[in-house]
Structure 1
Amino acid sequence: MLGSDYSTKFAPWLALGCLSPRKIFEQIREYEKEKVANKSTYWVLFELMWRDFFRFFAAKHGNKIFKLYGVSGGDWEWQSDAKLFQLWARGLTGYPLVDANMRELRATGFMSNRGRQNVASFLALDMKIDWRMGADWFESYLVDYDVASNWGNWVHAAGMTTGRINRFNVIRQSKMYDKDGRYIRHWVPELRSMPVRYIHEPWTLSPDEKLQFGAESYPAPCLDPASFREEGGGKGKGRKRSKGGRRRR
Structure 2
Amino acid sequence: MSEKTILVWFRNDLRIRDNEILLEAIRKADKVLPVYCFDPFYFKTTADGSPKTGALRARFLLESVADLRKNLQALGGELIIRTGNPAEVLPQLAQQYGVSEVYHHREVAYEETNISEEVETALWNLKLNLKHFIGHTLYHKEDLPFPIKDIPDSFAVFKKKVERDSNVRPCIATPEKIITPEITDAGQMPTLKDLGLDEPADDARIRIKFTGGETAGLARLQEYFADNEQVTPTKGRNGSTVDRSSKLGPWISLGCISMREVYWAVVKHEHDKNAHNTGMLRLELLWRDYFRFMFKKHGKQYFAAEAQPETTSSEQQQLFEKWKTGSTGIPFIDASMHKLNATGYISNFSRQMVAGYLVRDLELDWKKGAAYFEEKLIDYSPASNWGNWAFVAGLGHDPRDNKYFNLAKQAGELETNSEFINTWAPAEVVA
Query: TM-score when scaled to structure 1?
Result: 0.65
Deviation, structure 1 residue 32: 0.8
Q: Which residue of 1 aligns with 2:248?
A: 10
Alignment of 1:163 onto 2:399:
yes
Residues 1:88 and 2:327 are matched in the alignment: no
**Selected match of 1:28 from 266, 270, 278:** 266
Match among 267, 285, 301 for residue 48 of structure 1: 285
Larger Rg: 2
Which whole-Å CA distance do the structure 1 matches of 2:357 and 2:392 have between them? 9
1:53 counterpart SS class: helix
SS at match of 2:369: helix
Q: Which amino acid letter does the alignment assign opposite residue 344 of structure 2? A: G
Q: Distance in 2 between matches of 1:165 and 1:88?
A: 26
Q: SS state of the match for residue 189, structure 1?
A: coil
- The aligned counterpart of 1:176 is 413
- Find out whether 1:187 has 2:187 as its counterpart: no
Q: 1:117–1:168: 8 Å Cα contact kept in structure 2?
A: yes
Quick one: which amino acid aligns to residue 245 of structure 2?
S
Q: Is the 8 A contact 2:355 2:369 kept in 1?
A: yes
Q: Equivalent residues in 2 for 1:66-215 (5 A)?
A: 66-69=303-306, 77=308, 80=312, 81-161=316-396, 162-164=398-400, 168-169=407-408, 172=410, 174-178=411-415, 181=416, 183=417, 185-189=418-422
Q: CA shift at 1:124, angstroms?
A: 0.7
- Matched to 1:33, the amino acid is H
Rounded to whole Å, the distance in 2 between the matches of 1:189 and 1:47 is: 32
Deviation, structure 1 residue 169: 4.6
- Give the match's secondary structure for 2:247: coil
Give aligned-pair identity as a percent.
Answer: 38
More helix by share: 1
Deviation at 1:175, TM superposition (A): 3.2
Aligned residues of 1:120 and 1:134 also touching (Cα < 8 A): yes
What are the superposed Cα offsets for residues 170-198 of structure 1, whole Å, 9 maximum, x if unpaired? 6x1x43341xx4x1x2101269xxxxxxx
Q: 1:165 to 1:95 in 2, by over 3 A?
A: farther
Of the structure 1 ranges 131-140 and 60-69, higher mean CA displacement relative to structure 2 is found in 60-69
The alpha-carbon deviation at position 67 of structure 1 amounts to 1.8
Identify which range, 141-150 or 155-164, moves more after superposition.
155-164
Distance 1:131 1:138, change over 3 A: same
Kindly tell me: are residues 190 and 9 of structure 1, through their superposed partners in 2, closer, same or farther at Cα, counting changes over 3 Å?
closer
Maintained 8 Å contact 1:159/1:165:
no
1:197-242: per-residue Cα shift (whole Å, max 9, x none)? xxxxxxxxxxxxxxxxxxxxxxxxxxxxxxxxxxxxxxxxxxxxxx
CA distance in 2, matches of 1:12, 1:77: 30
Distance 1:33 1:107 in 2: 38
The answer to whether the 8 Å contact 1:123/1:129 transfers is yes
Instruction: Tell me how far apart the structure 2 counterparts of residues 188 and 163 of structure 1 sit (CA, whole Å).
Output: 32
C-alpha distance in structure 1 between counterparts of 2:348 and 2:408, whole Å: 15
C-alpha spacing 1:12/1:77, structure 2 compared with 1 (3 Å): closer
Calculate the aligned-residue CA RMSD, in Å.
2.3
Question: 1:138, 1:145 within 8 Å by CA — same for their partners in 2?
Answer: yes
Structure 2 Cα separation of the partners of residues 6 and 154 of structure 1: 22
Query: Which segments of 5 or more consecutive residues in structure 2 lack a partner in the other structure?
Result: 1-206, 209-226, 228-242, 425-431
Task: Give the paired residue count.
Answer: 177
Deviation readout 1:120-173 (Å, 9 max, x if unpaired) = 000011111010000000000000000000000000010112431768356x1x
The alpha carbon displacement at 1:51 in A equals 0.7
- In the alignment, is the contact (CA less than 8 A) between 1:11 and 1:144 conserved in 2? yes
- Deviation, 1:93, is 0.4
Q: Distance in 1 between matches of 2:401 and 2:308?
A: 15
Quote the residue 1:198 is aligned against. Answer: none
For residues 86 and 165 of structure 1, the distance between their equivalents in structure 2, rounded to whole angstroms, comes to 30
